A and B are shown apart, each in its own frame.
Chain A
Amino acid sequence: MLYLDHAAATPTSKKALKAMEPYFADQFFNPSAPYISANHVRQDYEEAKDEIAHAIGAKGADLVMTSGATESINLAFNILEPDAEVLISAVEHKSVVEAAKKINCKTINVDKFGRVLIDDFKKKLSSKTQFVSVCLASGELGTIQPISEIAAIIKDEVLRRKLAGETTPLYFHCDASQGIGILEAKVGRLGVDLLTINSAKVYGPKGVGALYVGHNVKLKPMTVGGGQEMGLRSGTENVPGVIGFAAAIKDAEEHLNAERKRLEKLKTILKNELKDISGIMFLGNPKYQLANFVPISVPGVDAERIIFALENEEVYLSTGAACSASKGIKSATLTAIGLDDAAIAGSLRITMGKLNDEENIKKAGELIKSTITSEQSRN
């Protein structure tokens, strides 16, 4: 198998699996139960949260554990009243777009690489804006966003409001589902109030995520009940999931720089293999792009056919989001960067990771190239 869809899912690492294993049956206790064995589980759980928090430069108590990025994002947006003014970038994940739709939402334009235009952001940021949501990196292009630059502008606006005696709050949320484990993302340096992270993208189990909540943010729960996660997300804690997430993100943090360098090298190899495909465009910002992302477009080719043809060779890659030309759903991200219909229909997202090495990336590159070339000659 040549797996090239790490942005969609990653295999749970052996370390994470091993760390989780005891908490399914042996250490199954409800962390809220009163006896000592349960207290031990509680301790392990809190330690795991600390480890996850550490990876983003926060404390365990700053995190609300959730069922994944989508829930984290929904919880973050839950702070808003329906008439609140919100700004999101044009390259956000569906869950941000849908959550923002419920509210009075405007879109910040991006350049042809999918990077937020700071001037457009400044223009759209008003004294009424209550919430800004920009991803750490686009899930379709891997384009890294100028988060700290945006944060600085937001901070200025917050201070201006304070001085003017204005009471409208302003929060900055960043969906870091893509980028965590590849890019250093410390909440302090980024300057965000809310940060969404996801276990399934960093070789942890699926169904686990977290929302970092800054101390100035008064979040409202969506799920009420026993008052777990400081009352922000009731329900018995997903102990094995959180333990697995911690093991996975810890491992990723420890090898962050080495892995990034390795992926950069693989990217060079892959791009070199693909560059002679007739009409190929490499998408995204070559300077500000996640090391594991190689989004491409070959206008005139039907990307879905390429995916189906390559699956016969056990090469797995995907189009950007859950979009497909034949289903009549167009990628908002690719539209936002100005691609025409043919370029969108011909776009593929290749995302590398631990399952790739120099040898199999070269092989994958050859197979992708020959498949696209043969599809081009079929017409």
Chain B
Amino acid sequence: MKTVYVGMSGGVDSSVSAALLKDAGYKVVGVYMKNWSKNLPGMKCPWAEDLADAKRVAVKLGIDFKVFDFENDYKQKVVDYMLDEYKKGNTPNPDIMCNQEIKFKLFAETAFEDGADFIATGHYAKTENGELLRAKDENKDQTYFLYRVTADVLKRTIFPVGDMLKPDVKKLATKYGLSNAYKKESMGVCFVGEANMKDFLNEFIDIKPGVIIELETGKKLGFHDGAILYTIGQRHGLNVGSGLPYYVAKKDIEKNIVYVSKNLNTDNLWVTEIPLKDIFLRKKPSSKNILVRLRHRAALLPAKFDGEKIIFEKPVKRIAAGQSVVFYEDEVCLGGGIITE
């Protein structure tokens, strides 16, 4: 009997994943990864409740359950990386880093050492022979977050819900009697989320206020909380009066200045080329013409990849440096890279 360690968050996807694997005849061990437990002002970290939920599901399924404590590693490899990127003025994606460093590296290594033949997670993605493939549920596909996971680990990874539609997963949860046990969606970088990112950063970085300047006129329009908190293209959260909305068009991190514009067509907001760094190529594209995804759940766009940058025929809205562009050919995720200035 093969042993599979399932990363369990207490959410429906990982809960059903564990149930499906048990039904398929695996010896299943549920694992809660304890990555973060600190409360922050206005943010109660729900780790203890999440752990209890995950364990509750494990008990319901009659499977073993373990807790892997990755708190120090998560802080170093994910949070510190995230903070460094923000300090540089970039907008990092901690979920991608978490998958690369924690879930599909540290968790995998720890599980294999502990006797696992495979690991599994509740991600919506498919894998074959180390390749990463888009999920059946196009709406839920999470390959954007997984493009940097190595083929070696994927060869020993199972995504039990990757071939399913979310509504069917929920039906299965009811069938397995888990509907009372599992909790609501578990999302992204732990409990922070976009809305709380500013508070989170404030806790760890000394953020200084600065001025907002109109790009075209050089006119001082007001003050901002700190340039690193703003993302190019951002429209909300600028206290610069009424009328047509302003967009963040440029940031000067060194001088702590945010430049804004009312002109949605300003060159700063649109690009035809996106230069990349830290490119992680899972598979060589068969031609220069590929499909790219600029953010999770965004539409696949046709583009050219020349080995260093992505080139579009028509301009696309600028994406903040630090975010990822992920490449596809048909169903196959080819890899991707991180947007640089």
Contact = CB atoms under 8 A, between A and B. Distances in A.
A305 interface: yes
B48 interface: yes
Interface residues of A, number: 11
Contacts of B69: 328
A309 B59 CA distance: 6
A17 B59 CA distance: 37
Contacts of B55: 304-305, 308, 326
Nearest to B57: A308
A328 B67 CA distance: 10
A378 B62 contact: yes
Given A326-B51, A327-B48, A378-B62, A308 B67 contact: no
A326 B30 CA distance: 13
Contacts of A378: 62
A108 to B, nearest CB: 31
A326 to B, nearest CB: 5
Contacts of B62: 378
B65 A305 contact: yes
Contacts of A304: 52, 55
B277 interface: no
Contacts of A305: 55, 58-59, 65
Contacts of B48: 324, 327
A167 interface: no
Binding site secondary structure of chain A: helix
* Contact-residue size bin, chain B (C-beta under 8 Å from the other chain): 10 to 19
A308 B51 contact: no
B19 to A, nearest CB: 15
A79 to B, nearest CB: 31
A311 B52 CA distance: 13
A319 to B, nearest CB: 12
A326 B64 CA distance: 13
Interface majority SS on B: helix, strand, loop or mixed? Answer: helix
B220 interface: no
B59 A326 contact: no
A245 B58 CA distance: 40
A327 B65 contact: no
A151 B187 CA distance: 55
A327 B51 contact: yes
A376 to B, nearest CB: 13
B60 A326 contact: no
Contacts of A216: none
Interface string A189-232: 00000000000000000000000000000000000000000000
Interface string A124-135: 000000000000
Contact of A312 (B51, B60, B65): B60
B44 to A, nearest CB: 15
Interface in A307-342: 308-309, 311-312, 324, 326-328
Nearest to B67: A326
Interface in B44-74: 48, 51-52, 55-56, 58-60, 62, 65, 67, 69
A128 to B, nearest CB: 37
A327 B32 CA distance: 11
A264 B32 CA distance: 41
Nearest to B53: A308
A311 B53 CA distance: 13
Interface in A352-379: 378
Nearest to A310: B59
B193 to A, nearest CB: 23
Interface in B27-55: 32, 48, 51-52, 55
A-B pairs with lowest CB-CB distance, top 5? A308-B59, A308-B56, A305-B59, A326-B67, A309-B59
Interface of A: 304-305, 308-309, 311-312, 324, 326-328, 378
Interface of B: 32, 48, 51-52, 55-56, 58-60, 62, 65, 67, 69
Given A304-B55, A311-B56, 9 more contacts: A305-B58, A305-B59, A308-B56, A308-B60, A324-B48, A326-B55, A326-B67, A327-B48, A328-B69
7 contacts: A304-B55, A305-B59, A308-B55, A308-B59, A309-B59, A312-B60, A326-B67
